[in-house]
Structure formats: structure tokens, C-alpha cells
Amino acid sequence: MDRTSGLPPASRIDAVIGSVTQPTNREHALVVTVDEGGASLGTCTVAEAHAGSGVRHRAFSVLLRDPRGRVLLQRRASVKTRFPGAWANTCCGHPAPEEDLAVSAARRLTEEMGLRGIRLVEAGSFAYQATDPATGRVEHEFDHVLVGRTDTDPIPDPAEVADWCWLAPSSLPDLPPRLAGASARYAPWLAPVLRLACAHWEASGRG
């Protein structure tokens, strides 16, 4: 990975954390359960959705890139209940029932990465199921991929993000196949997120 910029000072991180309202326990929040095609069925808690064999539910993954074509990745904090310490896309989350997808994604960008005011566009969706061998929790998600552009370094919440990097565009074509051989280091949804985002940028003439 091409870490092309360093972490901001702690004082800047503290300023962002103080400006964002953090939920007391995200495991108790409601998510939207869906069928195989992504149609809404009902709701359950985050904890219920990721227990046992998992309950298919709606999720989103955001991937940002800068004017140089670099994409912004984060390393998930060690306290995460699913795939802690794994490298993933810019941010992830679940829309609340009746919450607009883009609104929810923008909120999580602020909460996790301290980034605001970024226009997000849906690049596609995919479904996957994966078990975290370390925690036993299961991801069973219908995942909407949203992309956007920024020329700003993140100011992450250290309770959410352990590290971050800008990945050089020259690394992107070969990255998805490499992820399969290093599954412990990368979140299982990262490869399909990268494929959909890159395909969207290519189709829109911004590849």
C-alpha cells in the first residue's frame, strides 16, 4: 500500500470527535433486512443481523478518491466486532429504517473519517456472506457501493479507524486478485467494492 500522507495531529482528531454525536451502542441500532434482490423485508438489530449464520440486511460501502486518482482506504479499529484490524474501503455502515442511503453514508463519513460535504453516487450493489474467524460474527449483506471525490485528508475517529492510506492508482488493477491471497489483512467486501467503483469510474470517463 502506498501511504502518501501521515496522520493529522491529535488536536485535530479531538476537535472532530467533539463535533460528532456518537451512538452509545451501535449493536442495538436497527438495520433493514432484505431479500435476495435487495427489497426491504423488515428490521432487526445489528447484533441479531451478525449472529449465527447472519441475517441478510442492507449495507453501504463508500470509496473516495482524490484528483490524482488515489483511493482512500482505512484500517478498521481493533475494537470492531467484525473483521477488526482489516484494511477496508473508506467507510462502511448500515442505513437506518427509512433513512436515505446517501444521507446515511455521508453521516458515517463524518463519524468515521471526519469528512463532510462530499457528493456520493451509487456505483452498484452486490451481496456477500462472510464469517470473521476471529470473532465468529457473520456479515450477510446486500451492499450498495457509493463513490465520491475529495482532495482532503481524513481526520479519523481513533475509536473507529486504526490507520488510513491513499492507495496509488497504479496499484488498483492488480489489487483485487492479491486480496484473495491475504484474506486476514483485508475485509472480505473490499475486492468487490473496488471492482464496482473502478468500473463506474471507467464507464463515466473518469477512470
Catalytic residue, chosen from 111, 112, 139, 141, is: 141
pLDDT confidence of residue 14: 33
- The percentage of residues in the chain with a pLDDT greater than 70, rounded to a whole number, is 82
pLDDT confidence of residue 135: 87
pLDDT confidence of residue 99: 95
Average pLDDT score, the chain: 85
How is the chain classified by DSSP, letter by letter? ----SPPPPHHHHHHHHHHSPPPS-GGGSEEEEE-TT--EEEEEEHHHHTSTT---EEEEEEEEE-TTS-EEEEEEPTT-SSSTT-EESSEEE-PPTT--HHHHHHHHHHHHH---S---EEEEEEEEEEE-TTT--EEEEEEEEEEEE--S-----TTTEEEEEEEPGGGTTTHHHHHHT-TTTB-TTHHHHHHHHHHHHHHTT--
- List the domain boundaries for the chain: 27-203
Question: Which superfamily does CATH assign the domain made up of 27-203 to?
Answer: Nucleoside Triphosphate Pyrophosphohydrolase (3.90.79.10)
Which pTM does this prediction carry?
0.84
- Active-site residue flag, 91: no
**CB 191 within 8 Å of CB 176:** yes
Catalytic residue, chosen from 92, 111, 112, 198, is: 92
pLDDT confidence of residue 4: 54
List of the chain residues with pLDDT < 70: 1-24, 173, 176-184, 206-207
